[in-house]
Amino acid sequence: MSWEKLKLGEVCILNYGKNLPASKRQDGSVPVYSSAGQIDFHSLPHVDSEGIIIGRKGSVGKIYFSDVPFFPIDTSYYIIPDEKYNLKFLYYNIQTLGLEDLNSDAAVPGLNRNNAYSQLVNIPPLQTQERIADILSSYDDLIENNLKRIKLLEQAAQNIYKEWFVNLRFPGHEKTTVNEETGLPEGWTNSKYKNHFDLITGKKDANHSTSDGAYPFFTCGKEIIKSPDFSFDCNAVLLAGNGDFNVKYYRGKFQAYQRTYVLSPYNDKELFLLFIHLSLNLKHLTHGSKGSVIKYLTKGMIEDFTLILPSKTILENFNNLCENIFLQIETLENQNRKLKTARDILLPRLMNRTIEV
């Protein structure tokens, strides 16, 4: 059998996601997806199978795959399995359609379902679909394994932080006296964030991104996209100022979205201390976020946030341990970037039959 050219609407149904208030999330193990990807958890799935999620409002045309039951909220469409087609093949194939360019709403970016349905897709026999899905999945499997290793390394750094700065069982704590006034070890202080970094925001909007950009582009979403140029060249903690609050760090040249805060420490040895402290206390910080419809963080809220600053010796010891851990993380992240690049080059060639399987 040869390949067929069909309309997307002939191949699958784009089902609407379901409303799920933020107050009802984070109470289970079922991943919750929005147009920006996985954002939370819930106790029960709306879709009791694997599936494809496509951004409908906001991050138009972004595509995600869940291999477990999931909950797509109402900013997304979802596709469930059909025995005629390999679902993973459809996931990869739809990525080549350019759905992100089909924005139909002026005020809020949106993907019209009829516009999506009219897009033409190349569909090979089922056996070929399975082979293509296996080839591309092999890249994603390696990426996922690296992500799991990264998560374990991040957890190791957080465990050290908790042991040293929460439980106060840092090296030499047995011989360290406590300041009666502060309750902290001698030489340690409570210090506001504004004493430790320059706080500025990015200037670019989401349309500045390009698929082939040479520099990471940090937005309010968890996914790091690409930019053709850079506005920053420093060590920094990146904090999403609204929407899907999250925190990242980066060392080097990068671009930032206009609602993303860039926290560049005066002392580079405080980078990991600030990053881990903010990662562990993000919920506490965002609990006071302002705004009625879309919550957001203000500059003052961030600058007045407080952390424990250890003595110079303890800070240097902590930074040395973290440097080793995060160098491993950066190596894995670099591997993933190369794997994604190779996969993204291969993907359209498989779909347009430049490469036969």
Evaluate if residue 291 carries a pLDDT over 60: no
Of 281 and 109, more confident: 281
Minimum mean pLDDT range among 63-77, 111-125, 160-174, 219-233: 219-233
256 pLDDT above the threshold of 60: yes
| Per-residue pLDDT at 107 | 66
pLDDT band at 295 (very low <50, low <70, confident <90, very high): confident
Q: What percent of the chain has pLDDT over 70?
A: 97
User: Over 70: is that where the pLDDT of 345 sits?
Assistant: yes
pLDDT top residue among 2 and 8: 8
What pLDDT is attached to residue 29? 92
| Residue 194 scores a pLDDT above 60 | yes
Average confidence (pLDDT) over 255-262:
92
Domain borders along the chain are 4-123, 189-309
pLDDT at 59: 81
Top CATH class of 4-123 equals: alpha beta
Could you tell me which residues come within 8 angstroms of residue 132 by beta carbon, excluding any fewer than 6 positions away? 89, 92, 124, 350, 351, 357
pLDDT score of 262:
95
Under a CB-based contact definition with an 8 Å cutoff, are residues 26 and 48 in contact? no
User: CA 52 to CA 63: how far, in whole Å?
Assistant: 7
How far is the CA of 48 from the CAs of 13, 33, 57, 86, 306, in angstroms? Answer: 16, 14, 23, 17, 43
pLDDT of residue 292: 43
pLDDT band for position 318 (cuts 50, 70, 90): very high
More confident residue, 147 or 295: 147
CATH topology of domain 189-309: Adenine-n6-DNA-methyltransferase TaqI; Chain A, domain 2 (3.90.220)
CA gap 40, 34 in Å, rounded: 9
DSSP string, 113-151: HHHHHT-EEEE--HHHHHHHHHHHHHHHHHHHHHHHHHH
Least confident of 47-51, 55-59, 331-335, 346-350: 55-59
pLDDT at 205: 85
Query: The tokens of 314 are what?
Result: 């303890």
- Percent of all residues in the chain with a pLDDT value above 90, rounded to a whole number: 75
Tokens, residue 277: 């402290």
What is the pLDDT of the chain when averaged over all its residues?
91
- Per-residue pLDDT at 330 exceeds 60: yes
Q: Please determine whether the domains at 4-123 and 189-309 fall in the same fold group of CATH.
A: yes
The answer, yes or no, to whether residue 232 has pLDDT greater than 80, is yes
Model confidence at 289, pLDDT cuts 50, 70, 90, reads low
Q: Compute the average pLDDT of residues 233-238.
A: 96
Residue 235, CA atoms < 13 Å, CB-side half-sphere: 15
Which pLDDT belongs to residue 142? 98
Query: What is the per-residue pLDDT across 260-280, written as a single tens digit (0 to 9) for each?
Result: 999 999 999 999 999 999 999
Least confident range of 93-107, 118-132, 271-285: 93-107
For the chain, how many residues are written? 357
| pLDDT, mean of residues 326-352 | 95
Judge whether residue 211 has pLDDT over 90: no
